[in-house]
Structure 1
Amino acid sequence: MSKEMNQSPKVRAILLEICGALQRFIDTGETWSIFINKMSFVLEERQEIRDFLGTGHIKIELLESAEAAEWIESGIAGIWYGVHYDQTKNPILETIEIGKFPQIASSQMEDVHKGLKKLQIRLK
């Protein structure tokens, strides 16, 4: 029996959404985020999704922030697992993101401007 036959209808539906989002990303460059823990999935179903997609080799951690976060590449290029934590390091949001890399992990222009000022001061 194939993996697909063992999936619950909810898991199958989200995997199809992920597949469609990955196709849109390839076709148009549109990124997509799914707030997986805000849906009606139980822990076992979320784990089933992760098991199906697998795990890649890249991990991104945002540690120096009021709300830490981490992203792990799935076994499918362009699909990332994200976990956002509160100030006490408890998970508050779990995402599946489709794109080259998680958008929130990229440098924000405000931070880039601050970085430029910091570099200019150091160079004086």
Structure 2
Amino acid sequence: MRLTYTRLHARTYARFGRLYLDNGVAPDGQRVLPEGWVDWSRRSTLGSTYGAGFWTNDGSDDFTKWRISKGFPKDGYFASGFLGQRIYIVPSAKLVIVSFGYSRPPDFGMEDDLALIAAAIRATPGKTNSL
């Protein structure tokens, strides 16, 4: 699925992230994505750090190591859109964060996003500490 240049509310993107956080099951309990799809989507493929529509944190490249060192857990993954729009999913913290707005190159606001993710994880009651 490609969400290129769609005009959706942040809440809609958050619902999309929540669908993946909940392993493809909608809030009403209906399975929307095939069993195993989410696991496959968030795992690196073909020796890259990209899965099926998501950038992953399960690789060993410098960019992945940098994200993890800044507080984005190894089980986290994200969709990245135009000029830094992103959907971050962190299963260990049961967290979805949506980032909108224009961000400048070269990292398109990723440093700020990672600080937000780390702060949200620290502030989440009953979190699984995987930092």
Kindly indicate which of the two structures has a greater share of residues assigned to strand.
Answer: 1
TM-score, reference length from structure 1: 0.30
Larger Rg: 1
Kindly indicate which of the two structures has a greater share of residues assigned to helix.
Answer: 1
